[in-house]
Structure 1
Amino acid sequence: MAATKPLKIVLFLGTVRENRLGLRVAKFMQNYLVKTGHDVDFMDAQELDLPLLKKPLHFYRDQSEAPPLLVDLGQRVKTADGYVMVSGEYNHSIPPALSNLLDYFPGSSFSYKPSAIVCYSPGQYGGMRAAIQLRALLGEIGCLSVSNIFGIPQANKSLDEEGNPQNDHMESGAKRLITQLDWHAHAMRNHRESVGIPK
């Protein structure tokens, strides 16, 4: 049997708050995905520093007139096999930087691919209130989230600044989530390649 090409996963980090814990979580997930054989493309809202959305990529009728960075990001999103969303919780909701980043691209870029949610907080709920809202958003743009949500309470104690896990929960939680994501991503990729997507 021929070897299966690695899944291309875009890892989104959608927090830009001062002293953010999200970078620890994103580093951990990036390391885990690489270790388990994925092709990982990390998109950090803070590093990309896209302005508050006024004109998304799909509003440019002539793509040559769009900012080159936006065209490049759009292609990377479109060619992914799945997505991992790392989300904090701002006022019990989705961080605006995350929704702002996702809204730059049309739903068709995400469609018929799975997503996985990793949420966190320094408190006991692990960002779950934001995750539930994020699940609705991901469904609307076409990348349904897998049933498992990887919630990380007390993220400041669960990971060090380099994203190294400080307890067994981190590895086992990531494994449950990514095992589900992989199953769906392989199935959807195989179906896209064999029959295409609905017109």
Structure 2
Amino acid sequence: MHIYAFGSVCRGEIDRGSDVDLLACVDGPAPQIDPGKYSVYSYERLRALWSEGNPFAWHLHLESKLLFSSDGSDFLADLGRPEPYISVVSDCEKFKKLFDRSYQELENCSNSAVFNLSCMFLAVRNFATCHSLSIGQPIFSRNSPLMVNPSLPLGAEAFFVLTRARLLSTRGYGEGITPDEISATINAASAIPHWMAALRSQK
């Protein structure tokens, strides 16, 4: 078994809303590992992600830290560099569809506003991360949409609403989002499809 930390704690981006992302690499059933606290992957699956050039493989390759090794080895380090990332077109199309669907549902109904805002955050973050990886400048930060060029055309307040919605939806942490904040974010987010197109025009 190998245990790794990855994500914001390894980038030094922790804040009050951060958790600690943990990866458990196992070679069979591991009932002692809580899947609510760990991302549990078999060694075989991780090797496959490396061979696919999967973004998660690149994330682990660039931003993971070994915490425990049952045999003294560093399994991820021994895998070496993942294969090149080649699925950016299909991945970006997938996240564009997620954004479009969530944005449309948010415009039509406020009953699931936090969930749809959370999905919009996931879409723009992963879109930016996949794009950055495809051009050889990978950014895995939750702020990746603000760190690519061109950056996400949202004001700080609207992006903060998306970030808060993600934390509320996935961790139940943070301040509630008001109707006025929802309305302002809907208006600001209308520019996001143009931003996505501008990013991918760099391909």
Q: Do they fold alike, i.e. is TM over 0.5?
A: no
Higher strand share: 1
Could you say which structure has the greater relative contact order, defined with CA pairs below 8 angstroms and 6 or more residues apart? Answer: 1
* Larger Rg computed on CA atoms: 2
Q: Which has the higher helix share?
A: 2
TM-score after normalising by structure 1: 0.30
